[in-house]
Amino acid sequence: MSHPIFAVESRDSVQKNASVHLLPCRIHHDGNVEPVDAYWNPNEGQNQTRTAYLRGRKLHGKAVKLPEGYYGSVVEKSEPKKPEKTQEMAEDVELQEQDEQPEAGVMQRKATFDELMIWGHESLADSNEDPYLRGVEEWISFAEQIHSYPSGKPEGN
C-alpha cells in the first residue's frame, strides 16, 4: 500500500466558518492585522455585492456560494513527517531494501468556508474573465463528472 505524500490534518479548534476574500492584488504580509476595520471596511450593495476601497483603489466584490456538499479549507503548512511503518511495510522491507522513506507534506486545517468574496478592480468578477472564479467553476464541474455514475443510457440517443 502506498503512503500519502500530502495530508490535511484537522485540529479540534477549527473555526467552522471563515470569511474568505480573494483580492486582485498581492499583499506581502503573513499574520494577523488588528484592527482590521482600519484597513478594510466593505459596504453592502445589491444582489450579494459589496464595494470597498483598498489603498485608494475602488474594488467591487461578488459573493460566490459553493454548491451543496462542497466546502473550502483554510490551511497552514506544518512540519513534514515520515510515514509510519505498518506490518505490510515490514514484510516488504525483507524483499527490497529501503534507504529512506519519503516525507509526507502536512497542512493543518485552520478554518472552513462555504462562501467566498471575489473582488475585482472597478467591476464585478466575471467567470469569463476572472481566472479564479473560472477555476472554481471548472473544478466543481470536473469533480461532479468524475464522482458521478453513468446513467446507463448512451449519449446522443
- Give the pLDDT confidence of 79-99 residue by residue, as tens digits: 776 656 555 555 555 555 455
Q: Which ranges of the chain would DSSP assign to H, the alpha helix?
A: 87-95, 131-146
Residue-wise pLDDT tens digits, 2-22: 556 777 777 666 667 888 888
In the chain, the DSSP E strands lie at 6-15, 20-22, 43-44, 49-54, 57-65, 72-81, 104-113, 115-121
Residue 29 DSSP code: -
Phi-psi region of 56 (alpha: psi -120 to 50; beta: other; left: phi over 0): left
For all residues of the chain together, what is the average pLDDT?
Answer: 77
What is the Cα–Cα distance from 47 to 31, expressed in whole angstroms?
32
State residue 89's pLDDT score. 57
Among the ranges given (20-24, 76-80, 101-105), the one the predictor scored with the smallest mean pLDDT: 101-105
